[in-house]
Structure 1
Amino acid sequence: MTQRSLVGALLASTLLAGAAQAQDVTLTIESWRNDDLSIWQDQIIPAFEAEHPGIKVNFAPSAPAEYNAVLNSKLDAGSAGDLITCRPFDASLALYEGGKLADLSDIEGMANFSDVAKSGWSTDDGAATYCVPMASVIHGFIYNRDAFAELGLEEPTTVDEFFAVLDAIKEDGSYIPMAMGTNDQWEAATMGYQNIGPNYWKGEEGRQALIEGKASLTDPEWVEPYAQLAKWGDYLGDGFEAQTYPDSQNLFTLGRAAIYPAGSWEISGFNNLADFEMGAFPPPVPAEGDGCYISDHTDIGIGMNAATEHPDAAKTFLNWVASPEFATLYANALPGFFPLSDAAVEIEDPLAQEFASWRQECESTIRSTYQILSRGTPNLENETWNASAQVVKGAESPEDAAARLQEGLSGWYEPQQQ
């Protein structure tokens, strides 16, 4: 081989190696879903990588209660991942307005979502969408069917029936009636107040009235859910004040507690851990004949770090997330996360099907604190965590908690200052 040929061959091999190296992109996903790690690693990521061999994906979650703070710190430091799992409404809107999330309005896959599906991750005027919608979650109660059968109990439909069931479980003594702690605070708000509350404030009707300043957090429909929560402490077992979210999950899946105030996101994890049959019932209505409302919350989306060094690869992944293939994979890999895309998806898991069936019987709403009302200081979402935990512990009365939240909201939110 001549020297010229050798130089040419070396140059060609260098270029080929460079091209291969250029294709070998690794995308990192930030998320709060730390309990989904194995599902992403074993099912979701392999499906994507099989179709896109030049792109590797690393799922790197944080603890749920720490996610917002950790993510904001990473974004400020320039060390955040390429893809950002998005909480709905204000938290992600603030990231977009701060230049941390890219505008994804023009990616092809966004055509697969309705305006309602996109509303959790769009600007108030709908002009820009900055996260691909992934799924909603539904709130209710998961219970141990074996325990109910053993004690001769039926699913409660009213609040009185609900407490009668709790009393019967407590009197028997074989099980902790309900697994929930107050250590992490968010649990008491998300699976407590936001779970049962819509039946009192009538879902979207009450939520919009609060946003418009036509209702107050001290009105009866907003205080009554706290009055119910104040009774929960008697049924949560010894030491619930120090009980963490994973503690509550373990108490239920180990068969030590009969009922778990739940979000549907628990289903896949519980299926793998519980060795008993599970059932679910929606939040009991205040009185027989009342209409029912469920928190069917636009829960999770995924966006692109505006500072990513791999925007093309990130958009490739996001378009795949927007596809019918992903919707079907995600809904059945993570039963209890209900797709938001227009694609028709058959849900195989019976417990997830039960949750989804409530959409036919009850009116859907989202969590009351998520849109608009947590944009100021004090943050109503975080304050609701604290108030809910304090009420469950008996450290604050329902009326005092509501008054404190109202004072905070009216301190910065103009429609509440009238």
Structure 2
Amino acid sequence: MTRTLRMALLAGTAMSGMAMSGMAAAQDVTLTIESWRNDDLMIWQQQIIPAFEAAHPGIRVTFAPTAPAEYNAVLNSKLDAGSAGNLITCRPFDASLELFNKGQLADLTDLPAMENFSDVARSAWQTDDGAATFCVPMASVIHGFIYNRTAFEELGLEPPRTTDEFYALLEAIKEDGTYIPMAMGTADQWEAATMGYQNIGPTYWGGEEGRRALIAGEQSLTDEGWVEPLRQLARWRDYLGEGFEAQTYPDSQNLFTLGRAAIYPAGSWEIGVFGPQIEGAFEMGAFPPPVAAEGDTCFISDHTDIALGLNAASPHADAARTFLDWVGSPEFATLYANALPGFFSLNSAPVEMEDPLAQEFVSWRETCEPTIRSTYQILSRGTPNLENETWTASANVITGAETPEDAAARLQQGLDSWYQPQE
């Protein structure tokens, strides 16, 4: 063998080794997902992530949630410090739009899987002009009330249709004394706003018509349609059980799943969490927000809730885009909707849901007018942030720290301080 040939073979072997090493390094990637959903950790770890990793060897995924009330502040701090995960779970509309405008979320408009979503599904994670989409839509959630069907049968109770029937029901449960009428606390604040105010509020402000009128400046948070939901929350105080002021979100979940509370003001996301915890101890049912009077239009919050974006500073952008493309697939849509019943897929591909309680929630779309949470689009872009201020206001009126009228006036004053809608 000539010296020239030996050198060529050695060089080729070295280059091949380097290429193999480079390929291994390229595949040896761990992606971290930032999320506010901390109660579905096991589902991600045991079902969703293994399904992806089985089809994509070399890419590992870690789900690293933060408590919901802390997520925005913690995520912003991590992004500013350059320590955030590769994949960012996106809240709808303004909170995520702000991150995109700051250059902290990458533009995903050209991601192939984006073709699997309608304009409506993408709208919660787009720029105002629709030119850029920065998160892959995952699911919407529906608000209502989950109840202990077994407890209702024991007490001879039926789900309410009207507000009067709702309070008569709560009073009957309270008088019996076996169960706490409703499991909800005010310690975390967001729970009071999300499962309280945004749950029943559309009934009083008229769903999308009222929400859009508020954005347009045609209505005010001090109008009757916006104050009345706060008055209703103040009435809930008598039915939440002792110590609700110090009760956290996980505390509320535990009270219901342990069978100590009859009703849980809910988002549909609880379905997948509650089922395994209850383990046949009792049956669950659900009813939509009661209407003010018999014959009134039913409104539900059917909220474009959750999506997944790419940290623009991620050193593993290619692997992250691979994961995001999978998140946008029909395979993920079916897996996610059934692994997490109550998160209703936004993918254009049809998904057959197996869980009967999830089917109950989604059936309300046939009889109720849908809307989204009132604070999420446009109205929380300034300081004070209307979404966060609504958390405090909702908790305050329940505890009695603030009257509904004073809370509404404070919210409107804060909004007026930075938001002047175009005439």
Do Structure 1 and Structure 2 share a fold, with TM-score over 0.5?
yes
Q: Is the aligned partner of 1:328 residue 2:334? A: yes
Residues 293-308 of structure 1 mapped to structure 2, 5 A cutoff: 293-308=299-314
Q: Which amino acid aligns with 1:406?
A: Q
Residues 99-114 of structure 1 mapped to structure 2, 5 A cutoff: 99-114=103-118
Match of 2:421, SS state, is helix
Match of 1:342 in 2: 348
Match of 1:286 in 2: 292
Match of 2:72 in 1: 68
Q: Which amino acid aligns with 2:85?
A: G
Q: Which amino acid aligns with 1:215?
A: Q
The structure 2 residue matched to 1:188, chosen from 184, 187, 192, is: 192
Structure 1: how far apart are the matches of 2:217 and 2:393? 21
Q: Which amino acid aligns with 1:331?
A: A
Q: Is the aligned partner of 1:41 residue 2:45? A: yes
Superimposed CA distance per residue, residues 195-228 of structure 1 (whole angstroms, 9 cap, x where no aligned partner): 0000111110000000000001111110111111
The structure 2 residue matched to 1:410, chosen from 413, 416, 419, is: 416
Q: Which amino acid aligns with 2:417?
A: G
Name the stretch that deviates more: 15-24 or 392-401: 15-24
Match of 1:351, SS state, is helix
Name the stretch that deviates more: 52-61 or 6-15: 6-15
Gaps of 5+ in 2: none
Name the stretch that deviates more: 403-412 or 162-171: 403-412
| Count of residue pairs brought into register by the alignment | 417
Superimposed CA distance per residue, residues 285-325 of structure 1 (whole angstroms, 9 cap, x where no aligned partner): 01000001100001000000111111111111111111111
Q: Which amino acid aligns with 2:185?
A: G
Superimposed CA distance per residue, residues 96-129 of structure 1 (whole angstroms, 9 cap, x where no aligned partner): 0000001111111101111111111001111111
Superimposed CA distance per residue, residues 335-389 of structure 1 (whole angstroms, 9 cap, x where no aligned partner): 0000011110001000111000001110110000000001111111111000100
Deviation at 1:397, TM superposition (A): 1.1
Deviation at 1:6, TM superposition (A): 6.4
Q: Which amino acid aligns with 2:320?
A: A
Structure 2: how far apart are the matches of 1:249 and 1:225? 23
Match of 2:159 in 1: 155
Gaps of 5+ in 1: none
Match of 2:413, SS state, is helix
Superimposed CA distance per residue, residues 13-42 of structure 1 (whole angstroms, 9 cap, x where no aligned partner): 343233222222211111111111111111
Superimposed CA distance per residue, residues 179-208 of structure 1 (whole angstroms, 9 cap, x where no aligned partner): 000000110000000000001111100000
Structure 1: how far apart are the matches of 2:402 and 2:71? 27
Structure 1: how far apart are the matches of 2:398 and 2:238? 9
Match of 1:392 in 2: 398
Q: Is the aligned partner of 1:28 residue 2:32? A: yes
Residues 226-245 of structure 1 mapped to structure 2, 5 A cutoff: 226-245=230-249
Deviation at 1:8, TM superposition (A): 5.4
Deviation at 1:49, TM superposition (A): 1.1
Q: Is the aligned partner of 1:257 residue 2:265? A: no
Structure 2: how far apart are the matches of 1:342 and 1:377? 36
Q: Is the aligned partner of 1:165 residue 2:169? A: yes
TM-score (norm 1): 0.97
Structure 2: how far apart are the matches of 1:314 and 1:297? 26
Name the stretch that deviates more: 5-14 or 323-332: 5-14
Superimposed CA distance per residue, residues 129-179 of structure 1 (whole angstroms, 9 cap, x where no aligned partner): 100000000000000001000000000010000000000000000000000
Residues 87-106 of structure 1 mapped to structure 2, 5 A cutoff: 87-106=91-110
Change (3 A) 1:277 1:75: same
Match of 1:335, SS state, is coil
Match of 1:381, SS state, is helix
TM-score (norm 2): 0.96
Match of 1:34, SS state, is coil
Match of 1:197, SS state, is helix
Structure 2: how far apart are the matches of 1:224 and 1:10? 75
4+ residue segments displaced more than 3 Å: 1-15
Structure 1: how far apart are the matches of 2:369 and 2:404? 26
- Aligned-residue Cα RMSD (Å) equals 1.4
Q: Could you tell me the percent identity over the aligned residues?
A: 76
Match of 2:222, SS state, is coil
Structure 2: how far apart are the matches of 1:214 and 1:11? 69
Match of 1:266 in 2: 270
Q: Which amino acid aligns with 1:371?
A: Q
The structure 2 residue matched to 1:248, chosen from 245, 252, 256, is: 252
Match of 1:363 in 2: 369
Name the stretch that deviates more: 11-20 or 366-375: 11-20
Deviation at 1:83, TM superposition (A): 0.7
